[in-house]
Amino acid sequence: MELTGNLVLQAIEMLVVLALAPGLTGLVRKVKARLTRRRGASVLQPYRDLLRLLRKEVVLAENASWLFRVSPYMIFAATWVAAALVPTFAIGLHFNWTADLIALVALLGSARFFLALAGMDVGTSFGGIGSSREMMIGALAEPAMLLMAFTVALVAGSTQLSNIVAFMASGEVGIRVSMGMALIALIIVAIAENARIPVDNPATHLELTMVHEAMVLEYSGRHLAMIEMAASLKLLLYMALIGCVFVPWGIAPADAGISGLALGAALFVIKLAVGGTMLAVFETSIAKMRVFRVPDFLGAALMLGLLGTLLLFVSRSL
């Protein structure tokens, strides 16, 4: 009975995540539009876009292979599974024990791997330019992310996200320099991984400056819908990750009862709204950087992650 309840809760969580993701993207776009004194589309616009794309036919490039058609579903599935690993409003769900923070990073790596391959499949230079740059960014972001995971795991004594959240929420942690460094490193990685300004511009229309958009240039219809959905999910995943590790308050244990879970869910939505607004403000206040400045940016994240880890060796209380 307990197992069934837990599984139902798991399913609800996965569906909530799926339902909220386009809304978060819509919110970021809305706030950005307001900040630049435009009215902007409704927060619900991404939902409408997705439905429209799903209904449209797929226009497939002549040279596209089966890999190109399978990839959107693979990318979506890997990202969704990764998102299900992050505690959003409840911890202790069974699926949390399937994989830990390191596996989560690697799952996102799998999604990126297939996205980059899909970019290479049609055989145009835009796909290649996007794939090669994405893999370069990924190659630098992944170690930074892992070092951040090391720091957090060293503090919490576990790489299992449920345990980390429980430890962080317990109040034993206090304010630590190393956690601050890990937070900045994670934010930098999140910006790079989600193709946000200053690393990449999600709204660009110039092929040569694209990274993420160049890879998916050939996608259309339902395939594009799956990829857009996966991108939204990834943004939500990173927000939820930052939220659950650094502001873990309100996340309920799986056996907390309806009221506890409802409170957790409400707080989760508020956290997402705050995070989305902050992202929009940050993106509006900064210019996109040249592609070859990105390594410096990510190098900073790598160094911060390493410093955070090393500080913990100097003193367990830093």
Partner 1 sequence: MIAAAAGIALCLLALSVAATAMRGLTAASAAVYAASAVFCLALALVGIWTLATQADASAMTVPVGLPWLGAHLRLDALSAVFLVILGTGGVSASVFAIGYGRHEHEPHRVLPFFPGFLAAMTLVLLADDAFTFLVSWEVMSLLSWALVLTHHRDEATRTAGYLYLVMAGFGTMVLLLAFGLMAGAEGGYDFAAIRAVTRSPGLAALVLALMMVGAGSKAGLMPLHVWLPVAHPAAPSHVSALMSGVMTKVALYGFVRVAFDLVGPVPWWMSVPMIVIGAVTAVMGILFANVDGDGKRVLAYSTIENIGVIFAAFGLSLAFRANGMGPLAALALTAGLVHAVNHMLFKSLLFMVAGAVLNATGRRDLDGLGGLIHRMPKTAFLALVGATAIAALPPLNGFVSEWLLFQAVLQSPQLPQPGLQFLVPAAGALLALAAALAAACFVRFYGVIFLGRPRSDVARNAADSDGWSLAAMGGLALLCVLAGIVPGFLIDLVAPAVELAVGARVPMQAGNSWFTVVPVAEVRSSYSGFLVMTFIAISGGASAWLVHRLASRRLRRAPAWDCGFPNADPVTQYGGGSFAQPIRRVMAPVLAARETVTIPPPGDMAAARHRARTEDLAWTRIYLPLVTAVGFVARRFNALQFLTIRRYLGLVFGSLILLLTGLTIWN
Q: Which of residues 175-214 bind partner 1 (CB under 8 A)?
A: 207
Stretch that binds partner 1, among 20-28, 31-39, 92-100, 274-282 (CB under 8 A): 92-100
Rounded Cα gap, residues 91 and 94, in angstroms: 9
Nearer to partner 1, 25 or 96 (CB): 96
CB of 152 to partner 1, least distance (A): 11
As given in the structure block, the two tokens for residue 18 are 């799926």
How far is 96 from 276, CA to CA, in rounded Å? Answer: 25
Among the listed residues 29, 30, 133, 234, the single contact to partner 1 using CB under 8 A: 133
Task: Point out which residues pair with 91 in neighbouring strands.
Answer: 253
Q: Which stretch binds partner 1 (CB under 8 A): 123-131, 185-193, 246-254, 276-284?
A: 123-131
Sign of CA dihedral 110, 113, 115, 121: negative
Of the residues 41, 120, 173, 289, which one makes contact with partner 1 according to CB under 8 A: 120
Distance (Å, rounded) from C-alpha 70 to C-alpha 224? 12
What SS3 class is residue 195?
A: coil
Per the rule left: phi > 0, alpha: psi between -120 and 50, beta: everything else, 157 is left
Binding-site member from 16, 136, 242, 273 for partner 1 (CB under 8 A): 136
Q: How many CB atoms lie within 10 A of CB 145?
A: 30
State which H helix or E strand residue 90 sits in. strand 90-91
Return the residue of 143, 198, 253, 260 that touches partner 1, per CB under 8 A.
Answer: 143
Q: Is 76 in the site for partner 1 (CB under 8 A)?
A: yes
Binding mask 226-255 for partner 1 (x = CB under 8 A): x-----------------------------
12 forms part of the interface with partner 1 (CB under 8 A): no
Q: Least Å distance between CB 56 and partner 1?
A: 7
Among 40, 45, 49, 124, binds partner 1 (CB under 8 A): 124
N residues, the chain: 318
